[in-house]
A and B are shown apart, each in its own frame.
Chain A
Amino acid sequence: EAGVVQSPRYKIIEKKQPVAFWCNPISGHNTLYWYLQNLGQGPELLIRYENEEAVDDSQLPKDRFSAERLKGVDSTLKIQPAELGDSAVYLCASSRGGGGAHEQFFGPGTRLTVL
């Protein structure tokens, strides 16, 4: 089966500009996650979706970050405006859901550089 697809793989923008990342999860996976991975750190959850509903967005900086998952499949994560400290890798993952025992499958990530 196809894995989690993310685009773009790399993005370089000037600070204060907007940016968007796209994720297509594995077919049939109801749960979708966005993670932030800073250099030298493990991933940190930004937001989790169950189908179309954001069930955990407590770590999402809502003043500048937004996300959506229309129709419960693809998802978009947006930053507006971007700041220098947003430079990181943004990872998308999906799982079949049903509890913490389910394996999360990760995409290759989008590496964002804010100049």
Chain B
Amino acid sequence: AQSVTQLDSQVPVFEEAPVELRCNYSSSVSVYLFWYVQYPNQGLQLLLKYLSGSTLVKGINGFEAEFNKSQTSFHLRKPSVHISDTAEYFCAVSPQGGSEKLVFGKGTKLTVNP
């Protein structure tokens, strides 16, 4: 079975500051890794995903994430955030070669202040 730990439940930052949202996972098999964003009263939208290859993955809205297999981490970063980045961010894993079951973390609420 897989599990995901998002180390920070809330992250407040000022506009134009850099941000890192941390994600660690546990799995006995290789996994695919995802970051989703959820704006208020909306469904989840895919930011980026790691399937294979380069460990640095770039996504939409200027976000990127780095897969670190030895540390079983997949932290999300953005060099300069905007007010519009205020949302809930979810890290998720799915086992390779198995079911399509996504296992989500509990989420990190990112609040960007002016």
Total number of A residues with any Cβ neighbor in B under 8 Å:
26
Total number of B residues with any Cβ neighbor in A under 8 Å:
28
Chain B residue numbers with a CB within 8 Å of A93 are 43-44
Does chain A have a CB within 8 A of B46? yes
Interchain nearest-CB distance for A35 vs B (Å): 9
A: which residues have CB within 8 A of B? Answer: 4, 31, 40-45, 48, 55-56, 91, 93, 95, 97, 99-109
Q: Which of B96, B97, B101, B105 has the most CB of A within 10 A?
A: B101
Does chain A have a CB within 8 A of B53? no
B44-78, CB < 8 A from A = 44-46, 49, 51
List 29 contacting pairs A-B, 8 Å CB cutoff, sorted by A: A40-B106, A40-B107, A42-B105, A42-B107, A43-B44, A43-B90, A45-B101, A48-B99, A55-B99, A91-B44, A93-B43, A93-B44, A97-B100, A100-B32, A100-B95, A100-B98, A100-B99, A100-B101, A101-B32, A101-B51, A102-B100, A103-B46, A104-B46, A105-B46, A106-B36, A106-B43, A106-B45, A108-B41, A108-B42
* Nearest neighbor of A111 in chain B, beta-carbon distance: B41
**Interface SS majority for chain A:** loop
Task: State A17–B84 Cα separation when bound (angstroms).
Answer: 39
Interchain CB contact under 8 A, B97 and A99: yes
Q: Which of A41, A43, A93, A107 has the most CB of B within 10 A?
A: A43
